[in-house]
Amino acid sequence: MLNSIFALAVILSGAFGIYALWGINSRMTPLVSLVVLVDIAALFAMGGMLKTGVIIAYVFALTLFTLACVKNKADIAEKAMDFFSPGVVMFLLASLAMLAVLYATQPVIHRWDEFSFWGISQKLVKNHDALYTFYSSSMLGQSIPPALAVLSYFFQRFTPEFVEWACYYAYDVMFFACFAAFTAAFGKNRAHNAVTVFILAFISPYLFRVLAPGGKIADMYISTYADIPMAMVFAAATAVYFFTKENDSRSIMPVLPVLFFLTLIKDMGLALSCIVVFVIFFDMLVSRRQFSFLRLKGFLAECAAAVSMLLVTVSAYIMWSVHISNVLAINRSDFGGESGMGMVQMLVTGVKALLLGTTDEKFLTVRSSIIQAFFNTKVSMFGSGLNVVIIISAIFALAFLLSDKTGRKRIWMMYITSWTGFIGYYIFHLFLYAYVFGSEAYTLASYDRYMYTFYIGWLMLAVCCVCLAVRDGYSVLAGGGLLAVLAACLVICNMYMDIGNTFLAVNDTAFSKRQLIDAKSRFISDVVEEDDVIFLFSADNNGAHWFIYSYNFIDNYFPPEVYIETWGMSPEEEKATRMSELTEYMLKNGVTHILVDHSNEELSRNYGDVFGGMMYLIGHDTVAYYKVHYTDTAFWCELVKEGSIYG
Amino acid sequence: MVKKIEKIRSWQLILFSALFLVTIFIGIGLVRWSMDSSARKDGSMQEFTTECVRFQMMGFEYMGDGYKYVVTNHDPQMLSETPQAFTSLKFYMESSMHPGEVVLYYSTEKAPGYSEHRRLWANAVDGEPNWYIIETPVKNVTALRLDPTMYIGNELTFGDFVFNQEKSFGDFFEITTGRVYELIVYTLLISSCLRWLQEFVTKKFE
């Protein structure tokens, strides 16, 4: 809690420093400050100095703040008043309110990929005070870039233990910083427009999850997944440039750290960063006269700006690639996956197949299903991708109508460039499904999740265009337009969800499965030694139990479940086969202990003997931990601890 | 007139919006309280406690041992086709595994049958393990259907079913995090709309 408040204060003081020293629009500074600090920490982390890096980032922000105060001693009160523009006030209020809610409800990590990577990586980083590349663990995906894990760590540098809700809080502060950047067009006299945009941004992720009122809690704002962060940072990076009035490097410099951060969120961040550069470059062409950058002027300056943005993006990508090839000996350009192609080879093969045709059956099937999916798969409360694109286009059209002359050119240009970006993004996913994914490609696994990253970002870009119209064009009508868009979104949201679907509804029972397993883990935690290799026996198991146990006992190794083929065997044969194959598997993995989470009749029939026939008792609230002793061809178990979590 | 509107300050708009919302909140509470108490007074709604045998149980097999059942069907249902005024159901259920979604469907005279538009979700009662509660403003229902679990093989032990438990006057005005959240967000929203209206009325179009 204290560390979270401290981190928020550090980000704000950094923001004030950036605002007062360089005269950057104050609404953008929370985001710029946050990403600069996390970038610094991430750079140090890649060099194996995460702990120091975060301290240096803290000190850096406070130094900026002090410098700004010293430099503006004379009119500090006035500067501070100016700094707290509507966007910054909303950022601060939302951050404090969210802190209160998360502290009161204390949500825990609960979704599938949080246990396989996004959450467990942050726990590992906190436990070891170093990036997850530096040590081995049973986590999957060690080569995924570290920006979000570092961000979480930034909010819990001084806590004695890993705090799960603090991860969510770190993400949320980042979201609110992005939302503040969306309000960058509005000063004090336009507070009501700022409020409208902020709330619109706040509900936008919900629009892309199809829910039912009173049903499941949607994990927006209590998630460690990277898809929505990428969407928001993608749109905010564009907004940080889009609303600047300065005709020089001050409109480009703030974008650079955001792009660095975006590229380090996930591999797809590279593609999104490139789209941002593309959009900004063409916007400069139509909106800037006599632009100056690094002593260059005009078109040359615009090219130089684009090149420097690209350089920052590429260097972020290369730094991480060098890091993982040094530390893990993984070649990042090699995507692995089904066909084992490298990235360039994948793009070349894909483009060839697309333009010249191919006989590759998987490519053709995936191509037709991904095209179908755009029209038919429901990805949002609006419906299919087609509907989303129509609505986004309508918002662009509204902005276009209500804008002034330059604004119209810019909006038209952004519409075209973002369309181009979308087509590129879509085709890139076609290649990913066709060449990297295995059999999941045929069902387009996680299609909606990958797509809404772009749709949310795109929607916010369209909203930014309306904001531009409010600032430069028919202010009142465009302000009404913003309200109308928000009203429409609220109406749709109310059809699909209510408060019970949001993070506010989190209570003790919301994550009951996780809590049950946590209670069982606590029960046996005093007998689990550090280097125990544990095999999990669980009857009602879809794999989630395995993930949660290996997350709870993060220092122990849990070999994955094993499938033993026994179809068509007699009960005696089945029992013998299972026994010998399981023994072999356990020996191979060096299993020393067995954890029985839940047993049923079938498990009891096949394996009851090795547990002394006691197995059927392990149920809902009981758990047992055994030591394994091997004989020549089999094994038997010695009870270490058994009992009910209710005592 | 326009001059007067122009003079309204932002904090006045915000205060007005907040008070407006608080009034609505109190109003809704009062309406629900009066519906509840009048239904109790005229006898159409009563608090009563019963056991699972009141329900027609489909997809269960009796295991003996009090009210212990095992689920034999993907969609186990407990039906009660007694017309009544209904506001809450609190019940005791031990479950051998995580029950999944616990929901109650209801049908009314105008809308017979069960549909996801007439579905209520059970919440676990804080501090009382194995107790669940389902709540709604007073409704005249013709039938109820409780789906207590989602999984075959789940072993359920039922206890008391308490219908329409009495609520105190204060319960109708309970301030939850959700309410506070709505108050803040909608105050900002409504005052922004008012501010925009003010702008619209007083400014000429550019």
**Residues on chain A touching B195 (C-beta within 8 angstroms):** 191-192
Residue A96 in contact with partner chain B when CB distance is under 8 A: no
DSSP SS3 for A130: coil
Residue A616 banded pLDDT, cuts 50, 70, 90: low
Q: Is position B43 within any domain?
A: no
Q: Is position B181 within any domain?
A: yes
Co-location of B34 and B52 in the same domain: no
Co-location of B151 and B60 in the same domain: yes
Best residue in B151, B155, B188, B205 for a mutation probing chain A (most A CBs within 10 Å): B188
DSSP SS3 for A293: strand
Residue A140 has pLDDT above 90, yes or no: no
- DSSP for A379-435, please give it: EETTEEHHHHHHHHHHHHHHHHHTS-HHHHHHHHHHHHHHHHHHHHHHHHHHHIIII
A394-398, A587-591, B58-62, B109-113: range with highest mean pLDDT? A394-398
Q: Is position B169 within any domain?
A: no
Answer whether A215 sits within 8 Å of B188, measured CB to CB. no
Answer whether A476 sits within 8 Å of B188, measured CB to CB. no
pLDDT digits (tens, 9 = 90+) for A86-131: 999 999 999 999 999 999 888 888 888 888 889 999 999 999 999 9
Chain B residue with the nearest C-alpha to that of A496: B117
> How many domains does chain B divide into?
2
Co-location of B58 and B105 in the same domain: yes
Q: Give the pLDDT score at B130.
A: 87
**Residues on chain B touching A598 (C-beta within 8 angstroms):** 97
pLDDT digits (tens, 9 = 90+) for B26-52: 999 999 999 999 988 888 888 889 888
How long, in residues, is chain A?
A: 647
Residue A331 has pLDDT above 80, yes or no: no
Q: Residue B97's closest CA among A40, A600, A238, A123?
A: A600
- Nearest CB to B196: which of A192, A513, A516? A192
Q: Is position B89 within any domain?
A: yes
Co-location of B16 and B56 in the same domain: no
DSSP conformation class of A114: I
Best residue in B5, B9, B97 for a mutation probing chain A (most A CBs within 10 Å): B97
How far is the alpha carbon of A264 from chain B, nearest alpha carbon, in Å? Answer: 33
Q: Tokens 């910083």 correspond to what residue?
A: A177
Would you tell me how many other CB atoms lie within 10 Å of the CB of residue A121? Answer: 24
- Nearest CB to A192: which of B95, B177, B195? B195
What part of A 579-638 touches B (C-beta under 8 Å)? 598, 600, 619-620
Give the Cα separation of B148 and B91 in Å (integer).
Answer: 10
Cα dihedral: A424, A427, A429, A432 (round 10): -120
Co-location of B62 and B93 in the same domain: yes
Give the Cα separation of A534 and A550 in Å (integer).
Answer: 9
**Residues on chain A touching B185 (C-beta within 8 angstroms):** 199
Q: Give the pLDDT score at B111.
A: 81
A93-102, A524-533, A569-578, B118-127: range with highest mean pLDDT? A93-102
* Rounded mean pLDDT, A170-184: 97
Chain A residue with the nearest C-alpha to that of B200: A476
pLDDT digits (tens, 9 = 90+) for A151-161: 999 999 999 99
**Residues on chain B touching A476 (C-beta within 8 angstroms):** 196, 199-200, 203, 205-206
* Rounded mean pLDDT, A401-428: 95
Co-location of B86 and B62 in the same domain: yes
C-beta separation of A485 from A463 below 8 A: yes
C-beta separation of A498 from B179 below 8 A: no
Chain A residue with the nearest C-alpha to that of B125: A509
Residue B206 has pLDDT above 70, yes or no: no
- Nearest CB to A504: which of B97, B126, B178? B178
Q: Is position B124 within any domain?
A: yes
Give the Cα separation of B33 and B38 in Å (integer).
Answer: 8
C-beta separation of A618 from A608 below 8 A: no
**Residues on chain A touching B71 (C-beta within 8 angstroms):** none
Q: Is position B60 within any domain?
A: yes
pLDDT digits (tens, 9 = 90+) for A263-318: 999 989 999 999 999 999 999 999 988 888 888 888 999 999 999 999 999 999 99
**Residues on chain B touching A196 (C-beta within 8 angstroms):** 189, 192
Q: Give the pLDDT score at A647.
A: 61
pLDDT digits (tens, 9 = 90+) for A453-472: 999 999 999 999 999 999 99
Q: Distance from CA of residue A569 to its chain's centroid?
A: 47
Lowest mean pLDDT among A46-50, A206-210, B29-33, B177-181: B177-181
Residue B204 has pLDDT above 80, yes or no: no
Q: Residue A95's closest CA among A205, A216, A221, A220?
A: A221
Co-location of B62 and B89 in the same domain: yes
Q: Residue A227's closest CA among A318, A389, A371, A117?
A: A117
Co-location of B54 and B121 in the same domain: yes
Residue A255 has pLDDT above 90, yes or no: yes
Q: Identify the contact set of chain B against chain A, taking CB-CB distances under 8 A.
A: 10, 95-98, 101, 116, 119-121, 123-124, 126, 151, 153, 177-178, 181-182, 184-185, 188-189, 191-193, 195-196, 199-200, 203, 205-206
Residue A214 backbone zone (phi > 0: left; psi -120 to 50: alpha; other: beta) = left
Co-location of B69 and B104 in the same domain: yes
How far is the alpha carbon of A598 from chain B, nearest alpha carbon, in Å? Answer: 9
Co-location of B185 and B87 in the same domain: no
**Residues on chain A touching B191 (C-beta within 8 angstroms):** 192, 195
Co-location of B6 and B76 in the same domain: no
Give the Cα separation of A109 and A582 in Å (integer).
Answer: 31
Q: Give the pLDDT score at A26.
A: 94
What part of A 205-224 touches B (C-beta under 8 Å)? 212, 214-215
Q: Is position B15 within any domain?
A: yes
Label each residue of chain B as H, E or C: CHHHHHHCCHHHHHHHHHHHHHHHHHHHHHHHHHHHHHHHHCCCCCCEEECHHHCEEECEEEEECCCEEEECCCCCEEEECCCEEEEEEEEEEEECCCCCCCEEEEECCCCCCCCHHHEEECEECCCCCCEEEEEEEEEEECEEEEECCCCCCCEEEEEEEEECCCCCHHHHHCCCHHHHHHHHHHHHHHHHHHHHHHHHHHCCCC
CA distances in angstroms from B34 to A375, B21, B29, B39, B140, listed in the order given: 50, 20, 9, 8, 15
C-beta separation of A229 from A21 below 8 A: no
Answer whether A499 sits within 8 Å of B181, measured CB to CB. yes
How far is the alpha carbon of B94 from chain A, nearest alpha carbon, in Å? Answer: 10
Q: Give the pLDDT score at A53.
A: 95
CA atoms within 13 A on the CB side of A240: 28
The larger pLDDT score, comparing residue A328 to residue A97, is at A97
pLDDT averaged over every residue in chain B: 86
C-beta separation of A512 from B124 below 8 A: yes
Q: Give the pLDDT score at A359.
A: 80
Q: For chain A, what percent of residues have pLDDT higher than 90?
A: 55
Q: Give the pLDDT score at A334.
A: 66
Q: Is position B172 within any domain?
A: no
Residue A195 in contact with partner chain B when CB distance is under 8 A: yes
- DSSP for A209-254, please give it: S---TTSSPP-TTS---SHHHHHHHHHHHHHHHHT---SSGGGTTT
Co-location of B18 and B58 in the same domain: no
Angle between helices A343-356 and A405-431 in degrees, nearest 10: 100
Residue A542 has pLDDT above 80, yes or no: no
Q: Give the pLDDT score at B126.
A: 76
C-beta separation of A463 from A201 below 8 A: yes
Range of the domain at B151: 48-164
* Rounded mean pLDDT, A567-577: 82
The larger pLDDT score, comparing residue A215 to residue A51, is at A51
Answer whether B196 sits within 8 Å of A504, measured CB to CB. no
Specify the CATH number for the domain of residue B157: 2.60.120.260
Q: Residue B63's closest CA among B107, B30, B20, B94?
A: B94
Residue A576 has pLDDT above 90, yes or no: no
CA distances in angstroms from B90 to A216, B125, B159, B180, listed in the order given: 21, 9, 10, 26
Sign of the four-CA dihedral A431, A437, A442, A443: negative
